């Protein structure tokens, strides 16, 4: 019977390798025009639209940009952001 022991160091190495693979996958998708995620957080929307937190709040308050609040986080649908950028909202 062959027994292999896994140490804490082995798990740390595995964790680093997995995170590196996830980052490579994300970079590959960005470079090759893969569709972005469906739901974005506030900071991602601000970065995408190059707006301040106050401007994003105004877009929420006046109903220009719909959102869903889950817990303390606000999520925005990517299609709604596209419509806003295309002037269809």
Q: Using pLDDT thresholds of 50, 70 and 90, give the confidence band for residue 35.
A: low
Both 17 and 48 in one domain: the answer is: no
Both 14 and 30 in one domain: the answer is: yes
pLDDT tens column, 36-78? 678 999 999 999 898 999 999 999 999 999 999 999 999 999 8
Neighbour tally for 45: CB within 10 Å: 22
C-beta separation of 63 from 38 below 8 A: no
Both 11 and 45 in one domain: the answer is: no
The pTM (predicted TM-score) of the whole model is: 0.58
Q: According to the model, what pLDDT value does residue 14 have?
A: 85
Within-domain flag for 2: no
Q: According to the model, what pLDDT value does residue 34 have?
A: 63
Name residue 77's beta-bridge partners: 39
Domain count, the chain: 2
What domain range includes position 44?
Answer: 39-86
Both 30 and 44 in one domain: the answer is: no
Enclosing H/E stretch for 27: helix 8-31
Q: According to the model, what pLDDT value does residue 40 have?
A: 92
Q: Using pLDDT thresholds of 50, 70 and 90, give the confidence band for residue 2.
A: confident
């Amino acid at each position: 019977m062959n027994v292999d022991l896994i140490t804490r160091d082995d798990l740390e190495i595995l964790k680093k390798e997995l995170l590196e693979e996830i980052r490579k996958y994300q970079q590959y998708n960005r470079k090759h025009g893969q569709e972005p995620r469906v739901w974005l957080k506030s900071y991602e929307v601000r970065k995408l639209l190059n707006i301040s937190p106050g401007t994003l709040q105004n877009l929420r308050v006046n109903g220009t940009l719909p959102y869903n609040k889950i817990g303390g986080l606000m999520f925005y649908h990517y299609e709604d952001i596209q419509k806003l950028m295309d002037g269809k909202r």
